[in-house]
Amino acid sequence: MNYLSSTIQLFEYYKSLGEKAMRQLDAAQLFVTGDSESNSLAIMVKHLWGNMRSRWTDFRTSDGEKSWRNRDTEFEADIKDAQELWAKWEEGWQILFAALHLLKEEELGELVYIRNQGHTIVEAINRQLGHYAYHIGQIVFLSKMLAGKDWKSLSIPKGASKSYNENKFKKDKQKQHFTDEFLSKDKS
């Protein structure tokens, strides 16, 4: 597996984690905030959407911080309903995946700019992967808090590590991406 295919799979994994977390909630819970300084899930989705649109639109030919982006408005609670939230979620990820699928391994050392700061394409991808994983972690954590006792674990449930590891070590060693099992469940 090369860098690009591995990275695309990681982005798919984080997208899936966010979706699985938020789908455990009712529509109203997507808009809950803890206090005036906290972000709801809807606001986090809106910020990710804004960032993805800015970073990945014309990824190789224009600065990743577009002049049309208004980052501060991404933190305003103006998404009307769950349908709009999911539309923004999908749009952002589609733009990201479209840009990544156009890249070739031999281009990864070329420069792109974010806020006038040069990054190799690998550095720019890694920057966004870290940023999105950070926010997906927030989405999972907040979703788990809101779901409470109804939460269904997205990884190894508490108390199940021993049996999980026993099952893993019963199998022959093999080369695979760590997300293969997780993502294959999404496709079945």
Query: DSSP per residue over 10-78, as a string?
Result: HHHHHHHHHHHHHTTS-GGGGG--SSTTSPPHHHHHHHHHHHHHHHHTTTTTS-SS-TT--GGGGGS--
User: What is the rounded distance in angstroms from the CA atom of residue 88 to the CA atom of residue 47?
Assistant: 10
Residue 181 has pLDDT above 80, yes or no: no
Topology given in CATH for the domain delimited by 3-187: Four Helix Bundle (Hemerythrin (Met), subunit A) (1.20.120)
What is the phi-psi region of residue 116: left when phi exceeds 0, alpha when psi lies from -120 to 50, beta otherwise?
Answer: left
Residue 56 has pLDDT above 70, yes or no: yes
Residue type, 83: Q
Q: Which residues contact 83 (CB under 8 A, 6 or more apart)?
A: none
> Which residue shows structure tokens 């899936």?
16
Q: What are phi and psi of 108, to 5 degrees?
A: -65, -20
Note the pLDDT of residue 133.
Answer: 98
Burial environment of residue 33 by CB neighbours within 10 A (0 to 12, 13 to 18, 19 or more): middle
Residue 87 has pLDDT above 70, yes or no: yes
Neighbours of 107 (CB within 10 A): 13
Residue 166 has pLDDT above 80, yes or no: yes
Mean pLDDT of all residues belonging to the chain: 94
Note the pLDDT of residue 188.
Answer: 57
Instruction: Say whether pTM exceeds 0.85.
Output: yes
User: What is the rounded distance in angstroms from the CA atom of residue 188 to the CA atom of residue 35?
Assistant: 39
